[in-house]
Structure 1
Amino acid sequence: MNKLLKTTSVVALTFSFVGEAAATEWNVSVWGKRRAFTEHVEKLAELVSAKTNGDFTMNVSYGGLSKNTENLDGISIGAFEMAQFCAGYHRDKNRVITVLELPFLGVANLEEEVAVSNAVYAHPAAAEEMAQWNAKLLMTSPMPQYNLVGTGEPRNTLASMSGMRVRATGGLGDAFKAVGAVPTSVTSSEAYQAMESGVVDTVAFAQHAHLSFGTINQADWWTANLNPGTVNCPVVVNIDAYESLSDEHRAALDSSVDEAIAYYLENYGKLLEKWDSVLAEKNVTKVEISDDVLKEFRATAADPIRDAWIKDMEAQGIPGQELYDLVEKTLAEKRGS
C-alpha cells in the first residue's frame, strides 16, 4: 500500500511540474495609463488567456518596466517579452517603418492605417531591421491623423506657424520645421507639463492622447482638418520568447491579433464620435484650415521631405522608394476593395 501511495505521489508530482512548465507568463511594457491607444494590447491579453484556459497570461505594465523611449532596448535584451513603442522615439533604430510617418501620405482613416502598417511590417526589410533588436513586429497601434491643440491665437496659416513651438516627432516634426516652426520631441507623458510651462505652445497628438495626457485641458483651440500625418507605434515581441512558445500558445497569440485590432478600431470609433462634445465641454474652439493653406503646406513639406527620406534610406541600403511605393499601392488597393 505504501509503495502504491509513493508511486501515486511521484506521478502526481510529475504532472504538477508538467503543468507548471506548460504555463507561460509574459511581461508587456507600455506607458501612460490604459487608454484607447492600448486597448488592443489589453484585448490581446484577454483573448490569449481565454484561448489557453489561463495557461498563457500577459502582465501589462504602464511604465513600470521601462521608459517608453527604451522599450525597444528592453525587448532586445529580453527584459520583457512584449512592448509598444513609437518610431519617432528612435528613428535610427527603426528606419524602415518611418515611411509610415512621412507627412501627408493621404491615409484617410484607421482601417487604411492598419492596411499600410501591415504591408510595411510584412516587408523583408522591416523584419530584418527589427531582428537586429531581437524583435518581431506583431501588430500596429493605428491612430488617426494628428492635429494641433494650442494656446493663444489659432495657428491657421503657414505664416502664423513660423516660430511656433510644437511638440511633434518624426515626420510630423520635419513637416512643421519646413514651415518655420520649432519642433521638440518631448515624450507624450511630458507634453502636458511642456505646454503648461510654456516650453511649447502647441502639441500634435491624436484625439485619445490629447485626452489621456491632458493637453486638451490647456488648449484654446484645435485644428480639425490639418491632418499632416500620424506616428507609427508597433507592438513587438521578443523573438526568443516567441519562438519558445508551444505550438498551442503561439497559435493563440497569432490568431488573436486581428481580433484585438478589430476591437481597437471599434473602441476608437466611439471616441471619435464624441470628440465634438469633448471640445464643447472644454470650451476649445474648432479651427478649420483653408484649402489654400493646406495645399501650400503639402507643397512645402510633403514632396521635399518624402524625396529626402527616400534618398537617405537608399544611401543606407534600405529600399526607400520600394517602401513608399508599397504604401501608395496598398492605399489604392484598400480603396479599390
Structure 2
Amino acid sequence: MNLRNLLVKPVLLAATFLAGAAGAAEVDGPKVFWKISMWGNPRALSAGMEEMAAKVSEATDGNFQIKIFYGGQLSGARENLDGLKLNAFEGAAICNFYHPGKNPAWMVFSLPFLPLGDPAVDRYVRSKMFEHPAIVADMERWNAMPYVSGLLPQYEILGKGTPPANLEDWSGMRVRAGGGLGSAMEKLGAVKQTLPAGETSTAFQRGAVDAAAFPFTYAHVSFKISDEAEWFTSNLAPGTSECGWVFNKTAYESLPAQYQDLLMGQRDMIMQVTQEAYAAQDEKNLPMFEETLTKVTYSDEQLATFREVAGQPVWDEWIAANSDKFDAQGVFDAVWSYAKEAEAGN
C-alpha cells in the first residue's frame, strides 16, 4: 500500500463517521406515534404546535412522530376532553368556554378585563397558571394534563348591521361570546351565544347571530367572520379565553423520560412561534379590516363605564358561583399575583 492510500483511508473513515454522527438522533428512543385532535384549519393558534411536532421528529430521527388532525377528524371541539378520557388520542386543543362544566377553574381565563393585555405578561401568567393545582385538577378528571397555553390575544367583535357606536347599542344584539366575556356582554344587554368557532360564519349567513367575539385579528379571518361582517370594534378589548393544548395523561406517562423532557423543553418555543404568528396575522389583516369594514372606536369614558358595569360584578359572580367547587378566589387572585410578578420583571 502506498503512502497516498495510507493517508486517504483514515480521512474517508473519519468522514464516514462524521456523516453518521450528523444523522444520528439527538434523543434516542422507541418509535411512537401521537395523534392530536383539533377543530378548524391550520392557523396561528396551531403554528407553535406544528413547529414542535417537526422539532420532535427531527430530534428523534423520526422515531417520535406527532400529527395534528384538523377539522374535527378525531373529535368535535366540545368532545375533545371526552376523547382524552377514553384514550382515543394522545393530545388535543381545548377551548374552555366550549364546555364550562368540564373545566370550571379554567373559566378564570375568560373573565373580562384581566391584566393580560401585554403579550409578555400574558405569556408569564398563563405559563404559571398551567401549573396551578385547580387548573391541573380540572384536567385530571379527564385523564388529561395541561401542556401549553394557546395565548389567545385580546378579543374584539365583528358584526353585521348598525355599528354599536354607544354602549346602549349592544342591547338585544346576539353576540357569539363565551364564558365571562359573554357575561360581560350580557351586562350591556346583549344576548350571549356560545357557538363553536366553525359554526359561526354559517350562523351569520342564516341571520342567527349579529356579532362575534374572537381573538383579534387572526381568528376572525381564520373562521371567515370578516367575510360576513360590516363593522369591527378596535379598542373594546373586553378579555380573552383559553384555547390551550393538553395531553392524554396515560400516554404522556407511558413515554420514556427522554421523550417527556423533549416535549416539556419545547413549550417556550411553542409560545414564541404562536405569538409571532398572531402578530404576523395582525399586520396583514388589520389594514384589510380598516379598508373594508366600519371601524368602531370607544372613548375612554365609554370604556371606563364598560369596565365598571362588566368587570367587578362578573368577577364577583364567578367567584361566588364556583366557591363550592374549588378555591375560586385563590385562582382569581393568582392571575393578578402572577401579573404583578411579570410586570416587576419576575
Residue of structure 2 equivalent to 1:16: none
- Give the aligned partner of residue 233 of structure 1: 243
Q: Does 1:58 align with 2:66?
A: yes
The one-letter code matched in structure 1 to 2:47 is E
Supply the AA of the counterpart residue of 2:268. D
Q: Determine whether 1:48 maps to 2:56.
A: yes
Q: Which residue of 1 aligns with 2:228?
A: 218
Structure 2 unaligned runs (5+)? 1-28
Structure 1: distance between partners of 2:122 and 2:83: 26
Task: Work out which of the residue numbers 249, 259, 276 in structure 1 matches 2:259.
Answer: 249
Shift of 1:273: 2.2
Are 1:291 and 2:291 counterparts? no
1:85 is aligned to 94
Provide the rounded CA distance (Å) in 2 between the counterparts of 1:266 and 1:240: 32
Partner of 2:164: 155
- Following superposition, the deviation at residue 111 of structure 1 comes to 2.6
Query: Does 2:203 correspond to 1:194?
Result: yes
How far did 1:290 drift?
Answer: 1.4
Whole-Å Cα distance in 2 between the matches of residues 68 and 242 of structure 1?
21
Q: Verify the 8 A CA contact 1:147 1:222 in the aligned structure 2.
A: yes
1:222 maps to amino acid: F
Give 1:149's aligned amino acid: L
Aligned mates of 1:53, 1:252 — CA distance in 2 = 13
What residue number does 1:329 align with?
Answer: 337
* AA at the equivalent of 1:146: Y
| Cα separation, 1, equivalents of 2:209 and 2:225 | 11
Structure 1 CA distance for aligned equivalents of residues 120 and 39 of structure 2: 24
**Match 2:30 to one of 22, 29, 37:** 22
Post-superposition offset of 1:250? 1.2
1:153 is displaced (CA, Å) by: 1.6
1:37 match: 45
Maintained 8 Å contact 2:130/2:146: yes
Cα offset, 1:298, TM superposition: 0.9
Q: Which residue does 1:263 correspond to in 2?
A: 273
Instruction: Say if 1:162 and 1:180, in contact at 8 Å, map to a contact too.
Output: yes
| Aligned partner letter, 2:293 | V
Aligned-residue offset at 1:277: 1.6
What amino acid sits opposite 1:244 in the alignment? S
Aligned to 1:307: 316
Q: Contact 1:97–1:121 at 8 Å: present in 2 too? A: no
User: Quick one: distance in 2 between partners of 1:111 and 1:56?
Assistant: 31
Q: Distance in 2 between matches of 1:120 and 1:94?
A: 14
Select which of 200, 218, 221 maps to 1:208: 218
Is the partner of 1:85 in helix, strand or coil? strand
Amino acid at match of 2:282: L
Q: Distance in 1 between matches of 2:220 and 2:286?
A: 13
Encode CA deviations 1:121-178: one digit per residue, 9 max, x unaligned: 1111221221111000000101111111111221132210000111111111111111
Distance 1:134 1:157 in 2: 46
Q: What TM-score comes out, normalization by structure 2 length?
A: 0.88
> How far does residue 227 in structure 1 lie from its aligned partner after superposition?
0.5
1:109 pairs with 2:118 = yes
4+ runs deviating over 4 angstroms: none
> What value does the CA root-mean-square deviation take over the aligned residues?
1.4
Q: Paired residue for 1:278?
A: 288
Question: 1:79 is matched by which residue type in structure 2?
Answer: A
Matched residue count: 316
Separation in 2, partners of 1:104, 1:300: 11
* Structure 1 residue 91, shift from structure 2 partner: 0.7
Q: Report the CA distance between 1:112 and its aligned residue.
A: 2.3
Counterpart of 2:150 (choices 119, 141, 152) is: 141
Aligned partner letter, 1:160? D
Alignment of 1:119-130 (within 5 A): 119-130=128-139
What's the TM-score once normalised by structure 1's chain length?
0.91
Distance between the aligned counterparts of 2:120 and 2:142, measured in 1? Answer: 28
Q: Deviations over 1:154-212 (max 9, x none)?
A: 11322100001111111111111111100111110000011111101111111111001
Question: Following the alignment from structure 2 to structure 1, what is the Cα–Cα distance between the partners of residues 152 and 288?
Answer: 18
Cα deviation digits, residues 33-75 of structure 1 (max 9, x gap): 0011111221111111111111100121002101011111101
1:171 pairs, out of 166, 180, 183, with 180
